[in-house]
Structure 1
């Protein structure tokens, strides 16, 4: 097997290595995607002996992504482009064109992600019902989550990692609402200083600012939902025309 083409992306000071393997065709099933992701990661593990590899798969065409394994096509495409120079790369930037961001899709995906983080907390019953329900049900549960409580996100889960992930999603959404694309912890912390302590996993901090961010996110989502064409999560490429790629 020839060496895989891959590209690192994301925060320049990430504790792990986030990268994308470029493949010819996306496997059909989740199990096949997972197996290929693990196989390709194993082939380069010697290059990152002290870090965990968080691998994704993507198919590109005409200088931009057209399909991804994890995440949304537009976000991953632009993250690869904008954060290329933050890392030591083995290949030239595989992304030559930016995609128009689907802000509604970002809000829908972040809604599901934040709820999923809380699926092992004391809110598990409400959260699991909301994840099966419509957007209105999801918003109702989100606005009733109290992150300021001393809650556990589940056995084997690192609270600091999940809090960081929630802060990251909130920061990205609030910025994208104002047409700003942020793809690193430093960028989000500079734009929203109140989230810095969570993004950098500081010890012994209260979650008051995170709670405020969550409630603000819900209010933005409620307003956006009034004009959404689709209030259920979808694939970027199913709802957007790639002729708008820049």
Structure 2
């Protein structure tokens, strides 16, 4: 790499179609545009060394062995994901993360709710979904409840349905497991916990969305139980 002072770690599933990489920086850029530009710049510097897969980059600020700021996702999830999966990958630097942090279950559920809606924001449900994404958590939940995933086939022009199904299955499995105090960070861990999700996580063709519908129903029941306990119902 040109910037040899920039440390990075690979993390996540060993059989991902891309490289999940987090770059450790001293200070997080203030704007989304600057964060994106920096992540692209750093990714480009890794392509020559790791040309076989697309680089899926994240940025993080680390202090005293734990992550305190991230570009994408949440601090707690990325921190623990690195600790759990660092050893699964060939690494160029010693692990900077030394401390497990407590997971924020409610934040994970709020993010999962938004992501599930976002995944289908270009389907035939686009009108109600885009409106719900701007509304409070109660509207989001009721909108998700109104979606019949069995009728969703086209995720939008140029979209890969298998990728969307994989992402939905990953989020649902990870979130429902965390709700039951189990942290999962790879596709295989989710498959071991929820074998029904394997066809989606492995991007197998001709998968029936009924399974996704059932997991969505479980998620809705769980988040409805938790909403009254939430101190915050939006992503900060």
- List alignment gaps of at least 5 residues for structure 1: 235-246
Is 1:2 equivalent to 2:23 in the alignment? Answer: no
TM-score scaled by length of structure 1: 0.93
Match of 1:90 among 89, 92, 110: 92
Is 1:37 equivalent to 2:27 in the alignment? Answer: no
Is 1:211 equivalent to 2:219 in the alignment? Answer: no
Secondary structure, counterpart of 1:76 in structure 2: helix
Secondary structure, counterpart of 2:151 in structure 1: coil
Whole-Å separation in 2 of the counterparts to 1:187 and 1:144: 30
Runs of 4+, deviation exceeding 4 Å: none
Secondary structure, counterpart of 2:36 in structure 1: helix
Are the equivalent residues in 1 in contact too, given 2:123–2:152 (CA < 8 A)?
no
Deviation of 1:150 after TM superposition, in Å, equals 4.3
Map 1:104-123 to 2 at 5 A: 104-123=106-125
TM-score scaled by length of structure 2: 0.97
Which residue number in structure 2 is paired with residue 233 of structure 1?
235
Whole-Å separation in 2 of the counterparts to 1:154 and 1:114: 15
Map 1:1-246 to 2 at 5 A: 2-3=3-4, 4-234=6-236
Q: CA RMSD in A?
A: 0.8
Q: Does 1 or 2 have the higher relative contact order (CA < 8 Å, sep 6+)?
A: 1
Whole-Å separation in 2 of the counterparts to 1:118 and 1:96: 37
Deviation of 1:151 after TM superposition, in Å, equals 2.2
- List alignment gaps of at least 5 residues for structure 2: none
Whole-Å separation in 2 of the counterparts to 1:144 and 1:170: 17
